């Protein structure tokens, strides 16, 4: 029987967990990461897009080893075939975009935590947890023989429906109506006219969601979608297969990887801290309700959790009242905006194809550097004046 004692145990080695571990280890905190998978970064769970500003805000230096493609523009297409393109020819792009190799990026981030002193155990799963005095005792099933881990703080980074958070008494459940069903194919033989552009498709082609093409090479791209089951009785695979079969860019393409999963798009869960525990990343709903992007807020949540946990260890106070600082930081920086984005998303879900076509058409009056949720609201109101009653008080 192997028992480990550590200051902070992080359950899950994704971006949020590894960011928290890196932050803690660089401050000299004894930190241990466990992950149930055999390989960090697999399976990938997203379209792999990221921006320079996201990296700089959490102190990650750009490394070409995990950049698959530079992105220089975005094209949005509605159901009637009308589209709007934002690229260097018509916009002063405010940020550089990239498509990652998540399998490399995630390992890179975990390696930085290890190089700073963190320990990592793969194929190790937390199956039970209880508080003993002012610590947490976690029971594990482990390929490496780790049976128990005693920690002062546990950071739950184990994805939607976090089991470790529930074991420690937190309610992180997300309403099924706020879980997007996602599927993505990595495809070879893609022939989009500009393989440095991201392509987005909206409308009845994918009810309750959108379709994306994120290029990763000269003829390689992530092609996927997310849908809300409350808006259709068909599967995500049904819509993706229909799109692949009819899209001109994909007529000669072949699938080389399939990824499926659920994406929580209802905003942050309130129960993301408690005695001895913080919840980060997808486990706490750190996914943009409007776009489905989760890397940015996952990294930020891990950064904030690592900072608060570090101070908690220094002060010897692991109570809920102390750890609430994490809630306050994430609510102010992310949660309040996500509440607004969620309301915008709910409104957009009520629109028919004609209304969405009008919104795309009116986006041509907005320069890319000015595309914000506020400007999107103005476009929506212009396209559908009645929306003013529902959206006018958002900002």
- Look up the CATH number of the domain holding residue 78: 3.30.9.10
Lowest mean pLDDT among 162-166, 177-181, 271-275, 329-333: 177-181
Are residues 332 and 273 both part of a single domain? Answer: yes
Identify the pLDDT of residue 370. Answer: 44
Query: pLDDT for 35-81, tens place per residue?
Result: 999 999 888 777 888 888 888 888 999 999 999 999 988 888 988 88
**Cα 228 from Cα 232, distance rounded (Å):** 7
Of the candidates 195, 252, 261, 262, the one whose C-alpha atom is nearest the C-alpha of residue 222 is 195
Are residues 29 and 119 both part of a single domain? Answer: yes
End of a domain among 229, 264, 299? 264
Lowest mean pLDDT among 83-87, 110-114, 340-344: 83-87
Are residues 208 and 302 both part of a single domain? Answer: no
| Mean pLDDT computed over every residue of the chain | 89
Identify the pLDDT of residue 30. Answer: 98
- Cα 83 to Cα 52, 142, 200: the distances in Å are 26, 51, 9
Q: What angle do CA 18, 112, 163 make, to 5 degrees?
A: 15
Identify the pLDDT of residue 341. Answer: 86
Strand partners, 277: 154, 274
Let me know if residue 197 belongs to a domain: yes
Identify the pLDDT of residue 369. Answer: 47
Let me know if residue 64 belongs to a domain: no
Are residues 191 and 230 both part of a single domain? Answer: yes
Are residues 34 and 126 both part of a single domain? Answer: yes
Query: pLDDT for 346-370, tens place per residue?
Result: 888 888 888 788 877 776 665 544 4
Give the chain's largest Cα–Cα span: 67
User: Residue 181 pLDDT > 70, yes or no?
Assistant: yes
Identify the pLDDT of residue 28. Answer: 97
User: Residue 9 pLDDT > 60, yes or no?
Assistant: yes
Are residues 319 and 291 both part of a single domain? Answer: yes
Let me know if residue 151 belongs to a domain: yes
Identify the pLDDT of residue 354. Answer: 83
Question: What is the mean predicted confidence (pLDDT) over 266-293?
Answer: 94
Let me know if residue 212 belongs to a domain: yes
**Cα 342 from Cα 56, distance rounded (Å):** 26
Let me know if residue 16 belongs to a domain: yes
Are residues 186 and 95 both part of a single domain? Answer: yes
**Count of structural domains within the chain:** 3
Residues above pLDDT 70, as percent of the chain: 90
**Cα 322 from Cα 312, distance rounded (Å):** 7
**Band of residue 84 on the pLDDT scale cut at 50, 70, 90:** confident
Are residues 241 and 383 both part of a single domain? Answer: no
End of a domain among 237, 264, 291? 264
Query: pLDDT for 127-169, tens place per residue?
Result: 999 999 999 999 999 999 999 999 999 999 999 889 999 999 9
CB 300, CB 330: distance < 8 Å: yes
Are residues 95 and 164 both part of a single domain? Answer: no
Identify the pLDDT of residue 380. Answer: 63
**Band of residue 115 on the pLDDT scale cut at 50, 70, 90:** very high
Identify the pLDDT of residue 383. Answer: 58
Between these two residues, 88 and 155, which has the higher pLDDT value?
155
Identify the pLDDT of residue 373. Answer: 56
Let me know if residue 56 belongs to a domain: no
Let me know if residue 54 belongs to a domain: no
Are residues 311 and 169 both part of a single domain? Answer: yes
Identify the pLDDT of residue 63. Answer: 92
Are residues 112 and 140 both part of a single domain? Answer: yes
**Cα 151 from Cα 257, distance rounded (Å):** 38
For the record, the structure tokens of 165 come out as 């958070």
Are residues 212 and 245 both part of a single domain? Answer: yes
- Look up the CATH number of the domain holding residue 309: 3.50.50.60
Q: Provide the domain limits for residue 139.
A: 2-46+103-174+268-339
- Cα 192 to Cα 57, 198, 220, 253, 366: the distances in Å are 32, 10, 10, 11, 24
Let me know if residue 345 belongs to a domain: no
Query: pLDDT for 292-316, tens place per residue?
Result: 888 999 999 999 999 999 999 999 9
Identify the pLDDT of residue 47. Answer: 82
CB 75, CB 197: distance < 8 Å: yes
């Amino acid at each position: 029987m192997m028992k480990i004692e550590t200051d902070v145990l992080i359950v899950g080695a994704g971006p949020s967990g590894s960011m928290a571990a890196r932050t803690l280890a660089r401050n000299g905190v004894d930190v241990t990461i466990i992950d149930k998978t055999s390989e960090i970064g697999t399976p990938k769970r997203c379209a792999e897009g990221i921006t320079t500003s996201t990296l700089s805000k959490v102190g990650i230096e750009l490394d070409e080893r995990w950049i698959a493609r530079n992105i220089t523009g975005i094209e949005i297409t509605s159901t009637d075939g009308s589209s709007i393109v934002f690229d260097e020819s018509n916009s002063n792009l405010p940020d550089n975009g990239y498509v990652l190799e998540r399998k490399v990026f995630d390992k890179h981030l975990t390696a930085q935590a290890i190089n700073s002193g963190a320990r990592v155990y793969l194929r190790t799963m937390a199956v039970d947890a209880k508080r003993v005095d002012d610590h947490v005792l976690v029971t594990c099933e482990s390929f490496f023989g780790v049976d128990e881990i005693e920690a002062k703080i546990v950071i739950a980074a184990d994805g939607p429906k976090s089991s470790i958070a529930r074991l420690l008494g937190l309610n992180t459940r997300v309403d099924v109506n706020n879980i997007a069903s996602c599927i993505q194919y990595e495809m070879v033989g893609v022939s989009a006219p500009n393989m440095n552009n991201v392509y987005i498709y909206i409308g009845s082609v994918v009810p309750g969601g959108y379709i994306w093409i994120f290029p990763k090479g000269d003829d390689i791209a992530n092609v996927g979608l997310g849908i809300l089951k409350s808006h259709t009785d068909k599967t995500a695979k049904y819509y993706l297969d229909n799109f692949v079969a009819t899209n001109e860019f994909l007529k000669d393409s072949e699938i080389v990887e399939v990824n499926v999963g659920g994406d929580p798009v209802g905003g942050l869960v309130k129960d993301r801290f408690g005695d001895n525990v913080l919840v980060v990343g997808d486990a706490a709903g750190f996914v943009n309700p409007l776009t489905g992007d989760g890397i940015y807020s996952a990294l930020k949540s891990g950064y904030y959790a690592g900072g608060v946990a570090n101070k908690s260890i220094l002060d010897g106070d692991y109570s809920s009242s102390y750890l609430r600082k994490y809630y306050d930081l994430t609510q102010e920086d992310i949660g309040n905006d996500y509440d607004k984005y969620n309301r915008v998303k709910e409104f957009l879900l009520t629109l028919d194809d004609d209304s969405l076509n009008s919104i795309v058409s009116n986006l041509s009056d907005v320069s890319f550097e000015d595309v914000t949720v506020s400007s999107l609201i103005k476009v929506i109101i212009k396209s559908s004046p009645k929306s003013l009653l529902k959206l006018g008080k958002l900002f």
